[in-house]
């Protein structure tokens, strides 16, 4: 892929050099403008007004552009216009692109085009993506594909997520999965949250869960707010 890409840029650079050395580009010069239109493969190009050197430059530029289209897998690629060496470069680029698609798990992967070593690489990537999905609690997790150690890591991640949900009061909280110390932490977090709600005068405040000092602080805060 790297060799093919280098060839593309080298070829395009050569064509651009030839362009700059061809006809001097004077503003308003219709001949120069026509030359530029031909380089861009515009339908307004009049090849009959090109010099022999310009025609060769336009031809090379079109060939180089087609090669680039093929290397990057674009639909405008015309393989029939490629040389044998260019076709080999394009085939390597196609293979590398397919391998990357398979490794990333995106798009349509043609595993039959891969070598045995590449299939191993793709399978490792699949296992890693599944492991990450299981750690993050995503629905595409397949726990059956995990080994013993990975299942332990998944269980720890699930426990930590549940604890965090309980502490923050968001999402699904299963307190039965918490140990005694964690339940105390969750209870303390709930009291702190309730106190803040009461101090802010929120309707979700539960005064019955407050201590005497906390109730006095809430009454004082509400009086101060009312006086303002």
Neighbours of 70 (CB within 10 A): 24
User: How would you write 22-57 as a 3-class SS string?
Assistant: CCCCCCCCHHHHHHHHHHCCCCCCCHHHCCHHHHHH
pTM of the model: 0.65
In a domain, 135, yes or no: no
In a domain, 138, yes or no: no
CA atoms of 11 and 48, how far apart (whole Å): 25
Among 99, 126, 147, residue at a domain's last position? 99
Sign, CA torsion 144/150/155/158: negative
Among 82, 99, 116, residue at a domain's last position? 99
User: For residues 68 and 12, is the Cβ–Cβ distance under 8 A?
Assistant: yes
Neighbours of 194 (CB within 10 A): 20
Structural domain total, the chain: 2
In a domain, 215, yes or no: yes
Region at 137 (left for phi over 0; alpha for psi -120 to 50; beta for the rest)? left
Domain that holds residue 183: 179-228
In a domain, 167, yes or no: no
The per-residue pLDDT for 41 is 81
In a domain, 90, yes or no: yes
Among 72, 99, 126, residue at a domain's last position? 99
Structure tokens at 219: 């009454």
In a domain, 190, yes or no: yes
In a domain, 141, yes or no: no
Neighbours of 59 (CB within 10 A): 14
In a domain, 188, yes or no: yes
Whether residues 94 and 186 fall in one domain? no
Give me the tens of pLDDT residue by residue for the chain, a chain 228 residues long.
444 444 454 555 455 444 444 444 444 468 888 888 898 888 898 888 888 898 889 989 988 899 999 999 998 899 999 999 999 999 999 999 999 999 999 989 999 999 999 999 999 999 999 999 999 999 999 999 999 999 999 999 999 999 999 999 888 999 999 999 999 999 999 999 999 999 988 888 999 888 998 888 988 887 776 555
């Amino acid at each position: 892929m790297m060799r093919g890409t280098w060839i593309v840029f080298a070829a395009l650079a050569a064509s651009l050099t030839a362009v700059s050395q061809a006809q001097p580009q004077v503003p308003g010069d219709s001949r120069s403008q026509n030359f530029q239109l031909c380089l861009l493969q515009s339908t307004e190009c009049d090849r009959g007004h090109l010099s022999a050197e310009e025609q060769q430059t336009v031809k090379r530029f079109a060939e180089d552009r087609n090669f680039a289209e093929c290397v990057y897998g674009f639909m405008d690629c015309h393989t029939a216009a490629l040389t044998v060496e260019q076709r080999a470069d394009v085939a390597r680029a196609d293979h590398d692109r397919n391998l990357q698609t398979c490794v990333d798990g995106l798009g349509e992967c043609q595993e039959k085009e891969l070598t045995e070593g590449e299939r191993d690489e793709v399978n490792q990537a699949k296992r890693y993506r599944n492991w990450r999905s299981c750690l993050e609690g995503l629905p595409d997790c397949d726990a059956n594909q995990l080994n013993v150690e990975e299942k332990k890591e998944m269980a720890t991640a699930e426990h930590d997520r549940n604890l965090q949900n309980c502490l923050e009061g968001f999402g699904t909280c299963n307190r039965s999965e918490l140990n005694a110390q964690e339940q105390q932490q969750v209870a303390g977090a709930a009291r702190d949250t309730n106190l803040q709600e009461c101090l802010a005068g929120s309707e979700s405040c539960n005064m019955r869960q407050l201590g005497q000092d906390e109730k006095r602080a809430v009454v004082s805060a509400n009086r101060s707010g009312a006086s303002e």
